[in-house]
């Protein structure tokens, strides 16, 4: 079956490291713009493309990209639960809670045991209020929070209700702690890094993150934007 990008397709894209979600969507949009399904009655139709949930540039993994009439399903897709795997660094913080900014503070870790780490992870399971990172795309007075943060403007973001459905510590090799998390929409894993550092009486930040699942859609079934473009070019 040939793709119909006007009637709509749901594409599973594996976002590469350092790519923004916007870059990934633009790559798909550029790849499909010459596709025959976007020519109606001899007139070329401008491709409509959007994604169902942003990934940070330093995160990898599943980005659901919708085209054409399927973009109407984006809100429903965004509401699906997500699964992530990744790594926390225990004993240091950064302003953005990941590696996009350098370490700003270091903290002692001698008091932290493996048992304390497992218990801290268990305590995060459930419905809770989470304060998003200052370096995030949340709108504040008409501007993105990250724009204000980069300009040095002090901003207080309101806590939002999220749910952590599963929090599994998969490996501990201090200062690194590997994890798997299943959570609701709107959850910031970078904020969990911040909060688990506080829970351990130390500091922490995110060094690695991959979104492995959105609802029943799996990253193992996804392809990179470049692979998508190459495969489509071959068919054309």
Concerning whether 208 is annotated as a catalytic residue, the answer is no
Burial 123-135 (b: 16+ CB within 10 A, else e): ebbeeeebebbbb
| Enclosing H/E stretch for 122 | helix 114-123
Residue owning tokens 């919708």: 66
- Among residues 56, 98, 195, 208, which one is catalytic? 56
CB atoms within 10 A of CB 64: 23
DSSP code for 38 = G
| Enclosing H/E stretch for 224 | none
Please name every residue paired with 66 in a beta bridge, in sequence order, or none if there are none. Answer: 10, 50
| Cα–Cα dist 143/122, whole Å | 36
Paired tokens of 172: 């501990």
| Cα–Cα dist 123/127, whole Å | 11
N- to C-terminal Cα separation, the chain: 14
Active site residues: 56
């Amino acid at each position: 079956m040939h793709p119909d990008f006007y009637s709509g397709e749901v594409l599973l894209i594996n976002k590469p490291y350092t790519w923004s979600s916007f870059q990934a969507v633009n790559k798909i949009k550029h790849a499909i713009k010459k596709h025959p399904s976007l020519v109606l009655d001899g007139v070329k139709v401008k491709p409509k493309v959007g994604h169902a949930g942003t990934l940070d540039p330093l995160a990898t993994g599943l980005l659901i990209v919708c085209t054409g009439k399927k973009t109407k399903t984006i809100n429903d897709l965004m509401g699906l639960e997500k699964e992530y795997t990744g790594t926390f660094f225990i004993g240091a913080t950064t302003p953005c809670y990941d590696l996009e900014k350098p370490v700003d503070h270091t903290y002692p870790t001698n008091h932290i045991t493996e048992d304390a780490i497992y218990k801290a992870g268990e305590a995060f399971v459930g419905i809770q209020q989470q304060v998003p990172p200052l370096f995030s795309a949340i709108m504040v007075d008409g501007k993105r929070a990250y724009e204000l943060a980069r300009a040095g403007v002090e901003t207080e973001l309101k806590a939002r209700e999220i749910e952590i459905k599963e929090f599994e510590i998969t490996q501990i090799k201090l200062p690194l702690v590997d994890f798997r998390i299943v959570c609701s929409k709107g959850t910031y894993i970078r904020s969990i890094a911040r909060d688990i550092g506080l829970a351990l009486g130390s500091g922490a930040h995110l060094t690695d993150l991959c979104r492995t699942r959105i609802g029943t859609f799996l990253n193992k079934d996804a392809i990179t934007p470049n692979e998508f473009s190459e495969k489509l070019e071959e068919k054309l």
